[in-house]
Amino acid sequence: MTDTTQTVTGAEEPTRASLASMPLGKAITAGLRASMSADPRVLLMGEDIGTLGGVFRVTEGLQAEFGDDRVIDTPLAESGIVGTAIGLAMAGFRPVCEIQFDGFIYPGFDQITSQLAKLTNRHEGTLQMPVVIRVPYGGHIGAVEHHQESPEAYFAHTAGLRVVSPSTPHDAYWMIQEAIASNDPVMFFEPKSRYWPKGEVDLSDPQAPLHASRVVRTGTEVTLLGHGAMVSVLLQAAEIAAAEGISVEVVDLRSLSPVDYGPILESVRKTGRLVVAQEAPGFVSVGSEIAATVAEKAFYSLQAPVLRVSGFDTPFPPAKLETLYLPDADRVLEAVDRALAY
């Protein structure tokens, strides 16, 4: 597929020496290493993240490099992991927790939503909670039940949490470091199906702040918006549409809470149409919120209703049926055709 990624306006052209090619998973590893090297208060916690290097090998080699007092293998107890991280943050550390799979986060849900999200507000801002919770999420890997979910809307709905999701190795490298540097708790959703494809990382320039959305392909007729693994699907759909003479713009959401609406609204005012795509079920979702806000703030620019393409409002199916459940380029293009028909 041709590279249609747009360079961020105002960014200097990177030198070859500052560029590296790596998969998204290893970009997160490199980002974790950079943060741990820069700040001795940063430590990692999770199930099998030390000797094994994590199920997806994202923390591979870090325990040997930094020691088992900074890369800590924990019991299989998500509530205990998050609760311990809260205590460590109170003591001045900057813990990074790994939740092994998306569907395993629910035992820690109470700690995250009732404690982690609320402690800073409870203390009127005097107590900071610099905790990052890494969550491999989403489908496309043919896994069993509880291993392919997209629970990001629960946390985007929870006041007090920042929620982000990178779609490229470059963003993964920089966003994990920016999340760790944040004094607020950050839910860091990693699209596990994108762990392995390589991409270019500019090691000298993040190119966009943590909570910025950005245009990754320019177009004039329809705006496609998504986050995480869905961005690659949208770029594929945009390329197919271009071959049929349809000009499609693609916006990478990057941050789910807070949402940077500036580039989204600017794009919609130009194209007049918006299709929001996500792997998660559509009902009461991040896509629902964005559709409502765009309809409110760009109503007179819209030439068609905001359309949503999502997973179905059912539990994630067995692996053999995941291709029927997950949005693909064809379902996105069907929505593009509907938007253009108005």
Report the catalytic residues: 147
Q: How far apart are CA 135 and CA 156, in angstroms?
A: 14
Under 8 Å between Cβ of 144 and 101: no
Residue 100 · residue 57 · CB < 8 Å: no
Question: Which pair of structure tokens corresponds to residue 97?
Answer: 């927790």
Q: Classify residue 242 as left (phi > 0), alpha (psi -120 to 50) or beta.
A: alpha
Query: Which DSSP category does 192 fall into?
Result: G
Q: Quick one: tokens of 268? A: 């919609």
Residue spans of alpha helices (H) in 91-226: 109-110, 119-122, 152-156, 169-181
Q: Where are the alpha helices (DSSP H) in 2-47?
A: 24-38
Name the nearest CA neighbour of 174 among 252, 254, 231: 254
Q: What is the C-alpha separation between 118 and 158, in angstroms, rounded?
A: 9
φ and ψ at 268, to 5 degrees? -65, -35
Which residue, 280, 288, 249, is CA-closest to 265?
A: 249
Tokens 């270019």 map to which residue?
A: 200
User: Max CA-CA distance within the chain?
Assistant: 60
Separation of alpha carbons 127 and 103, rounded Å: 30
The answer to whether the beta carbons of residues 311 and 327 sit under 8 Å apart is yes
8 Å CB contact between 99 and 46: yes
Distance CA 148, CA 314 (A): 13
Do the Cβ atoms of 276 and 289 come closer than 8 Å?
A: no
CA 92 to chain centre: 26
